[in-house]
Structure 1
Amino acid sequence: MRRPWNSLRALLMVAMLALAAGALPAQAQILETPREVAAVRINIIDLLANEDGLPLPIKQRREVLRAYYEAANGDLLWLNSNRGEQFLARLADAESDGLTAADYPGAQLGRLLDVAHSTDLRSLGIIELFFSAALLEYTSDLSVGRFLPGKVDPNFFIQGRKIDQAQALSELAQTLDIKGFLDAWAPPDPEYGALKHALAEYHAMAAHGGWGTVPLGDVLKPETIDPRVPALRARLAITDAAEPALDDPQLYDQPLVEAVERFQKRHGLEADGVVGPATLVALNVPVEERIASIELAMERWRWMPRDLGPRYVMVNIAGFELKRVEAGAVAERMPVVVGKPYSRTPVFSDSIRYLEFNPYWTVPTGIAIKEELPKLQSNPSSLAAQGFEAVAGGQAYDLRAIDWTRYGSGNFPFQLRQRPGESNALGRVKFMFPNAHDVYLHDTPSRSLFGRAERAFSHGCIRVSRPLELADAVLRDGGVAGWSSAKIDAVVDSRDNTVVTLANPLPVHITYLTAWVEDGTVNFRKDIYEHDTKLVAALDGKSIAW
């Protein structure tokens, strides 16, 4: 999107200042002497202190620029080196960073650099400042993202971050390598780097025309003959290493079935080799949309804390997966169930502080009134048999001893609680990171849901598929001594409510990524909460100062 600041304004300002001062001859080299360097610095300091008509990008960063250039070591960054040419090349290739070249003033900066050899010292000061302001803008976008997460989507509870602009200018002064400088400010996690590599691959695919579509039709099953098979084979040859036909080109043979299964697996589909409607839809998503998904995932990585922790748990809502990371390597992955689209699991970071074995489940008031009260009014014995009880004033009551027809949404003085046991909705253990969303990780008695490809069934909390294995690892990573899988089993079998506090709280990051790289393979998922749609809209309508 074009930035609203008119690039001609800067050029006209430079031109008018040059005319007013008398332009230098075209053959003169800029800043040939220390005296000229000092003169430009003096003009820069004066511009920042007294010029009201500076371009908005400079004005927005006036204080940090002034602090840098007024400092004793505030060397010029652009007019006496080739940093400018390097930066222009990086801006022209912004797509490789998952950004958009048109959002940055590469063309304007190039024209300013062209006239730098034939303009006056004060105008050179403006050019220097314009480059510095643009560098800070790009560094910020690359490092912490283009938006405050909560401004894009109210379900993202990630604290917005800002770069240290003074540090950025200071570090830039210590290097002539713009690429190395910018790469160091990008998110350091290897997963971000893997996405950037995947983005380059998909841009290359797009440059070669992307891929064709597979015609719609009946469900395509292995070992059948169908005129659409050549199109399917050609499509998967581009992304999933489909091999040439062994015999009949219209035969859906075993090597092609295996390519389909690879495709289905990395798109979160049932990996059965059957090309049904869902697989056809995924096959026919154009390369441009896949590129956009990778770019959005890179943007969300910029929103995450720069330091995720030496050990941490990460849940990808869109991928229905939890992974446990130790020393930068994935130690464990497991399927999870997340919130339904109308009771979404929020995106945020926190720390697991304690585990509770054989937990009570206190039903949230809204759920108790909306979902459970009608059941209590018709058959309280059913819920009582599942271990539920009512709590009021610290006293527990048998559900069957209460006339529930007397209560409603405006009159419900009870907490509904389920005792520990096999039927408990939280299962055998919950992992607590107290937060304003009342969201946590927990076991579940509803095991069958983990076998489904899409697993958005909860009220917002995250159900884990191997909770006791996770508990063993979390206790270990959390610095709790004296626990083992055998002790966990014994505590669970006792059915006694048991709380274990971690000596070292373990970071947990709840994320939403519809694209990621796993074992060198790009994975894509559906935008189940339409968070991608909101971010695309924000990027398309972004108001930027240039």
Structure 2
Amino acid sequence: MRRPCPDLIRKLVVALLALLFVMPAVAQDRVDLSPRDLAVVRINIIDLLANEPRLPLPIKQRRDVLRTYYEEQSGELLWLNSARAGVMVSRLANATDDGLNPDDYPGQQLASLLAAAGETDKRSLAIIELYFSAAFLEYASDLKVGRFLPNKIDPNFFLAPRTIDEAAALAGVAKVADVETVLHAWEPQSAEYQALRKALDDYHALAVLGGWGTVPLGDTLKPGMTDPRIPALRARLAVTDGAAATAPGEPEFYDDVLVEAVKHFQARHGLDVDGVVGPASLVAMNVPIEDRIESIDFAMERWRWMPDDLGRQYIIVNIAGFELRRIADGEIKEKMAVVVGKPYSRTPVFSDAIRYLEFNPYWNVPAGLAAKEELPKLQSNPAAVAAAGFEALRGKDVYDVRQVDWAQVTPSRFPFQLRQKPGTNNALGRVKFMFPNSHDVYLHDTPSRSLFGRAERAFSHGCIRLSRPLELADQVLAAGGVDGWSNQRIDSVVASLKNTVVNLKTPLPVHITYLTAWVEADGVHFSSDIYGHDEKLLAALDGKSLAW
């Protein structure tokens, strides 16, 4: 086949793209071509991909997979002579339904190309076909695995980069007439993601209606009070939390029915559930609906970063929600409050698998923590440190901390491994759940029980403290295929204070994630962005970068 000169191709592409600016998009959803015309277009596609060095960038970036499909696999045309093209244009125009931004995709350009297709030649039709395939691949990838590599957005995300099988994606389009079916199959299929997508649709519909009004700032509102702001409070909660739009009695009286609506709102937003509308509750109520939609978008993006297969049984921890869940066969079997890392010692995001449990664990104090926090205590009152169960190790030798001259030890020269023996004061409590990792993060008990009564629970050095660890131990052992460990046996082992390791026969997947929006039976729940991860994702979407 005689190849056209590069200048001719360049002029062809320029002329075709110029149509984007001079021809309006029309209600055309397909281009009908004869079998002969289709064959000619296909020949042009193969020639363009094989020989043309100046293809438009979106096509050039995907040249190899497009060649694989159209040439090596003799794939049929996907968009010309098919209603798929119109459906694809519509899907891109409505990308907000997927938590994506329509401005990031060439929906309008594709609509214009489709409108111009009936007036152009076969070479240009070949480019139109390739443009549609390139746009589909970009959208399918963003929908399946996300728009960004997680660790490029935030160094605290340690999730394996994921890609899509682009050849399989194109082949999938060829097998069905409805491209919506293909795109739905490429979405994350987890129930959590699908619930967020439904919630996003509801919040978009609510936004069209105007969202919700604000509650004027002022003094704290308490049950039984009369205040002119009560009607605004009632109207606000009528939109999202089941409050009656109008009061049956005195409209400015804070009655018991409204208290229940306030408590429902507080529970959904990770606030103290006390029915008292103080500064934190007022701020949360006055967050505009656009910001809540953004939180749902971010949560959907982070679900795309997650592995496709979380496991038939698994544990998932939501750092931002301060909660652990155990899932089996798609059902929530356990929920419990957790304490996570402080903002300056953040719990990282990653996936692993629990491999063993350790009852009555030793706490091996991290070297940095021992030098910075424990050394001053050892220098001022070693007897108190010894009473708390600490001992010093140097190689295989174990030392009573009262016998060490700590005045000769400095943070930069700390030759000991400090550890705390099993006991009631042990920082890890009665049990830890181990999934050995480079972050030295795991799940464990804690003697500091009072912290679980707080709404915001970011107090640890990075590990995850459990509110009901022994109950979880029983469940994890069973899920891990370990027989013979009843609650009574666990209690007996714990009471012995003897360090005991129990290996799981089947490692149990554990996923540590960060979601500031999720869906429960009573509606969408939101949390504060304790680590600023949402801010980083927003900056990335705006084309910026935050290094902190």
TM-score (norm 1): 0.94
Correspondence 1:200 to 2:205 = no
Q: Which residue of 2 aligns with 1:253?
A: 255
Q: Note the C-alpha offset of 1:542.
A: 6.9
Is the alpha carbon distance of 1:236 and 1:113 closer, same or farther for their aligned partners in structure 2, counting shifts above 3 Å? Answer: same
CA distance in 1, matches of 2:99, 2:508: 31
Residue by residue over 1:287-315, the C-alpha shift from the partner in whole angstroms, topping out at 9 and shown as x without a partner, is 01000000000000000001100000000
Distance 1:503 1:184 in 2: 34
Q: Which residue of 395, 398, 401 maps to 2:400?
A: 398
* Counterpart AA for 1:140: S
Answer yes or no: is 1:506 the counterpart of 2:474: no
What residue is the counterpart of 1:38 in the other structure? 39
Contact 1:387–1:424 (CA under 8 A) maintained in structure 2:
yes
Displacement of 1:212: 1.2
Distance (Å, rounded) in 2 between the aligned partners of 1:413 and 1:10:
73
Q: Which has the higher contact order (CA 8 A, sep 6+)?
A: 1
Structure 1 runs of 4+ aligned residues shifted over 4 Å read 8-11
Match of 2:472 among 470, 473, 483: 470
**1:58-97 pair list within 5 angstroms:** 58-97=59-98
Deviations 1:207-254 (CA, angstroms, capped at 9, x unpaired)? 111111111111100011000000001111111111120111000111
* Maintained 8 Å contact 2:33/2:80: no
Q: Could you list the per-position Cα deviations for residues 324-371 of structure 1 after superposition, in whole angstroms to 9, with x for gaps in the alignment?
A: 000001101000000000000000000001100110000000000000
Q: How do residues 108-507 of structure 1 correspond to structure 2 at under 5 angstroms?
A: 108-243=109-244, 244-507=246-509
Aligned AA (2:200) = L
Return the letter of the residue paired with 1:424.
N
**Which amino acid in structure 2 is aligned with residue 413 of structure 1?**
P
* Partner-residue secondary structure (3-state), 2:333: strand
CA contact (8 A) 1:318 1:525 kept: yes
User: Structure 1, residues 186-206: CA drift from partner, whole Å, max 9, x if none?
Assistant: 000011011111111111111
Q: Secondary structure at the match of 2:87?
A: helix
Q: Which amino acid aligns with 1:524?
A: F
What is residue 523 of structure 2 aligned with on the other side? 521
Native 8 Å contact 1:11 1:112 kept in 2: no
The one-letter code sitting in structure 1 at the alignment partner of 2:453 is G
Q: Structure 1 residues 32 and 199, CA, compared in 2 at 3 Å: closer, same or farther?
A: closer
Q: Quick one: structure 1 residues 225 and 355, their matched pair in 2 at CA, closer, same or farther if it must change by over 3 Å?
A: same
Residue pair 2:375, 2:411 contacting (<8 A) in 1 also: no
Is the CA contact 2:364–2:420 (under 8 Å) kept in the aligned structure 1? yes
- Provide the rounded CA distance (Å) in 1 between the counterparts of 2:160 and 2:85: 33
1:502 maps to amino acid: L
Pairwise CA distance, 1:33: 2.8
The 2-side partners of 1:319 and 1:225 are apart by 33
The 2-side partners of 1:534 and 1:330 are apart by 30
Q: CA deviation at 1:11?
A: 6.3
Secondary structure of residue in 1 paired with 2:215: coil
Secondary structure of 1:374's counterpart equals helix
Q: CA deviation at 1:507?
A: 0.3
Q: For structure 1, which segment, 344-353 or 201-210, has the greater mean C-alpha deviation from structure 2 after superposition?
A: 201-210
Cα pair distance change 1:15/1:390, threshold 3 Å: closer
More displaced 10-residue stretch of structure 1: 449-458 or 476-485: 476-485
SS where residue 475 of structure 1 aligns? Answer: helix
Are the structure 2 counterparts of residues 106 and 256 from structure 1 closer, same or farther at C-alpha, using a change threshold of 3 Å? same
- The alignment partner of 1:352 has SS state of strand
**CA separation of 1:105 and 1:533: change in aligned 2, threshold 3 A:** same
1:465 partner amino acid: S
Amino acid at match of 2:519: V
> How far apart are residue 32 of structure 1 and its match?
3.4
State the shift of 1:119 in Å.
1.1
CA RMSD of aligned residues (A): 1.6
Match of 1:3 in 2: none
Instruction: Assess if the C-alpha contact under 8 Å between 2:32 and 2:82 holds in 1.
Output: no
Say if 2:346 and 2:531, in contact at 8 Å, map to a contact too: yes
Helix, strand or coil at the partner of 2:451: helix
Q: What's the CA shift for 1:531?
A: 0.3
Q: Compared with structure 1, are the counterparts of its residues 10 and 460 closer, same or farther at alpha carbon in structure 2 (3 Å cutoff)? A: farther
In 2, Cα distance between equivalents of 1:169 and 1:513:
32
Answer yes or no: is the 8 Å Cα contact 1:357–1:499 preserved in 2.
yes
Structure 1 CA distance for aligned equivalents of residues 188 and 199 of structure 2? 16
Check conservation: 2:213, 2:232, Cα contact below 8 A: yes
State the 1:73 CA deviation.
4.0
SS of the residue aligned with 2:220?
coil
CA contact (8 A) 2:46 2:67 kept: yes
Supply the distance in 2 between the matched residues of 1:130 and 1:30 (Cα, whole angstroms). 14
Query: How far 1:30 moved relative to its partner?
Result: 5.4
Quick one: distance in 2 between partners of 1:15 and 1:438?
Answer: 54
Deviates more, 1:66-75 or 1:317-326: 66-75
CA contact (8 A) 2:517 2:525 kept: yes
Instruction: Report the equivalent of 1:24.
Output: none
* 1:268-292 superposed Cα distances (whole Å, 9 cap, x missing partner): 1111100000000000000010000
How far 1:163 sits from its partner (Å)?
0.5
TM-score, normalising length: structure 2:
0.94
Contact kept in structure 2, 1:10 and 1:55, CA below 8 Å = no
3-state SS of the aligned residue for 2:491? helix
Q: Which residue of 2 aligns with 1:53?
A: 54
Change (3 A) 1:382 1:10: farther
Corresponding residue SS for 1:506: strand
Whole-Å Cα distance in 2 between the matches of residues 404 and 246 of structure 1? 71
Cα distance in 2 for partners of 1:13, 1:306 equals 43
CA contact (8 A) 1:142 1:185 kept: yes
TM-superposition CA deviations, 1:449-507 (whole Å, max 9, x none) = 00110100000000001001100000000111221111111111111111111111000
Give the match's secondary structure for 1:200. Answer: helix
Q: Give aligned-pair identity as a percent.
A: 66
Structure 2 residue aligned with 1:536: 538
Secondary structure at 1:305's aligned position in 2?
coil
Distance change in 2, residues 1:99/1:285 (3 Å): same
What CA distance in whole angstroms lies between the structure 1 residues aligned with 2:392 and 2:18? 79
Q: Is the 8 A contact 2:89 2:111 kept in 1?
A: yes
